[in-house]
Structure 1
């Protein structure tokens, strides 16, 4: 018996792997611009602190047009220091959304990257986050719409909202082939429904000189009104009320206004920081990423009560197992056993 335990421990050590700063993440894709294949450069930053029992959350940083991963990771390594940071660099320093120089299969790269990250022992596979800036924000929106990996629990988009290509005729769409050119809706012609359960933050500015806050055409793309875009995202996650008042809620004495849907699940911030974010917006973003949801608190109101039980009941009936806070017994399934546990908890409160 002792020998068997030693063998099992040895096998565990062999097959366990942690991501470190010197790790090589090699994701290669080929397409008509690079028929022989092209490897995405990846920058990595690992926190100096002790690894939590459940592993570090990980944040994938998507740079803006003309940027790169190395520059973007420097902006966050000191302020988001409780996350492992991964910053890929896009082909020709851009992400494939519409008429960018790149036609690379970036969504495939992101899917492969997330799957690979979830295999490391020091990463929490259920806390994969995305921050996208400008062109990277547009890619983050594509991830929200198109990627169905429930381990991606939070997506933050900075100074770029949904486009008409991504949402038109009351539906979300994705491109099956090349984007841009003279195609209708830039080739976004395949209907899709985003998965439930993700948190989403969008930050936009009314004086942005590049991306029109209130919608319109720019950089070869027709953008939706930022307020409407946030409302559309909220509806995709189950919100059935009216669009929030255009005035929003002023946050303290700042020039930032909040639009909060589904009790902090979907949030839009309106500011006036041009094509960037100010310190207040940045701190809000960091707090948004660091908020830990209470297991069983499905409506994110900070308490577990009968409203959460009714939401869980609807998830069980609908077969929705993508909401991590609904998995009360941590068996990776949302079912009758979670209902029984939550019911017992509420009865003994």
Structure 2
């Protein structure tokens, strides 16, 4: 009888031990997976002189319905043009970057602070915080965080290229706004120290900086753009610009190119025809088109392929 009692006690102990292990495993696998979804709410609030009580950036998100890649989805932060918003630029690029998670903040007063815009917001701080926040989500490929800006948003994208040092941002794409003179002058890239100042010679961009050299870069501009002068000079947005082909050459040199500037003819591609200026085996590229202050199907196709192949 004593032996039977000991056997029952031993068996009971094994049973509860196995049950505990089973429950531990169940609890582990049932822990919620923190995935970014189209309904996720990301709150980023900044304060500055125009908004001393704080401004929360509206942020729109669109996650592909396709199966999540093993390494997670690449993600593209979209920066809208002046007067637009995050939802509108997602609608513009959702069919082009359909394999990316798209995340699009809306700037204060629907603009981004480059120099003489209505907004003086700390937009660079916002983007930096947004990119850092992405590490909280399990369905993102943190090695493929991309920035795409259009027009005023391209000005901010170029400031991110110049000033942001996060190595997880692997591609910068500037659509219909290349480097302006405050961002690059006297053979150097510049950033503003504290705030932009449209009354100063270079709008407050007075601190020399050296962008990190690990990024791919795509610039898309148009020879007949009535807003941003392709050949450089004065613009309708209150800034002077570089020649677009000079701008991509300076960026290529920053990223390690040591050769001569490419000839102005470029390489003809597509229909409608576009012209490619490719440096560093296609890692730094400028595309010239004829779509005014917009982007044509050939340019969109090139953009899609550039993002997919990098």
Q: Tell me the TM-score normalized by structure 2.
A: 0.90
**Secondary structure at 1:127's aligned position in 2?**
strand
Partner Cα distance (1:196, 1:141) in 2: 14
Match of 2:57 in 1: 40
| Residue among 109, 112, 115 paired with 2:129 | 112
1:221-263 CA-to-partner distances (Å, cap 9, x unmatched) read 1100000000000001000101000111111454211000000
For residues 76 and 18 of structure 1, the distance between their equivalents in structure 2, rounded to whole angstroms, comes to 22
Aligned counterparts of 2:251 and 2:86: Cα–Cα separation in 1: 27
Query: Would you say 1:94 and 2:111 are equivalent positions?
Result: yes
Larger CA deviation: 75-84 vs 23-32: 75-84
CA distance in 1, matches of 2:297, 2:257: 30
Give the Å deviation of 1:171: 1.1
Distance 1:99 1:5, change over 3 A: farther
Q: Deviations over 1:33-79 (max 9, x none)?
A: 00111000011101001111110000111000100011111112223
Q: What's the counterpart of residue 253 of structure 2?
A: 235
Paired position in structure 2 for 1:19: 36
Q: Is the 8 A contact 2:271 2:298 kept in 1?
A: no
Counterparts of 1:77-226 in structure 2, within 5 Å, are: 77-218=94-235, 219-226=237-244
| Deviation of the 1:29 alpha carbon | 0.4
Unaligned runs of 5+ in 1: 293-349
Change beyond 3 A, Cα 1:6–1:224: farther
Native 8 Å contact 2:272 2:296 kept in 1:
no
Measure how far apart 1:14 and its partner are. 3.9
1:57 match: 74
1:250 and 1:256 in contact (8 A); partners too: yes
The partner residue of 1:276 within 294, 301, 309 is 294
Distance 2:134 2:185 in 1: 33
Instruction: Return the offset for 1:184.
Output: 2.3
Aligned pairs, number: 292
Gaps of 5+ in 2: 1-16
Of residues 89, 98, 117 in structure 2, which corresponds to 1:72? Answer: 89
- Residue 162 of structure 2: SS of its match in structure 1? helix
Query: What is the distance in 1 between the residues matched to 2:201 and 2:269?
Result: 40
The answer to whether residue 275 in structure 2 is matched with residue 257 in structure 1 is yes
Q: C-alpha separation between the residues in 2 aligned to 1:179 and 1:114?
A: 22
Residue 290 of structure 1 pairs with residue 308 of structure 2: yes
Greater shift, 65-74 or 244-253, is seen at 244-253
Larger radius of gyration: 2
Partner of 2:14: none
- Distance across 2 between alignment mates of 1:183 and 1:136: 22
Distance in structure 2 (CA, Å) of the matches to 1:13 and 1:166: 50
Indicate conservation of the 8 Å contact 1:173/1:192, yes or no: yes
SS at match of 1:286: helix
DSSP 3-state at the match of 2:281: coil
- The secondary structure found in structure 1 opposite 2:46 is strand
Q: 1:245 to 1:33 in 2, by over 3 A?
A: same
Contact 1:118–1:124 under 8 Å retained in 2: no
Structure 1 length normalisation: TM-score?
0.80
Q: 1:252 to 1:49 in 2, by over 3 A?
A: closer
Q: Is the 8 A contact 1:205 1:275 kept in 2?
A: yes
Contact kept? 1:55, 1:122, Cα under 8 Å: yes
CA gap 1:105/1:83 in 2 versus in 1, 3 angstroms: same
Superposed CA RMSD = 1.6
**What is the DSSP-based 3-state SS (H/G/I as helix, E as strand, rest coil) of the residue aligned with 2:41?**
coil
How far is 1:12 from its partner? 7.0
Q: 1:184 to 1:287 in 2, by over 3 A?
A: same
Change (3 A) 1:85 1:5: farther
Does the Cα contact within 8 Å between 2:150 and 2:175 map onto a contact in 1?
yes
Measured at CA, do residues 92 and 197 of structure 1 come closer, stay the same or move farther in structure 2, by a change above 3 Å?
same
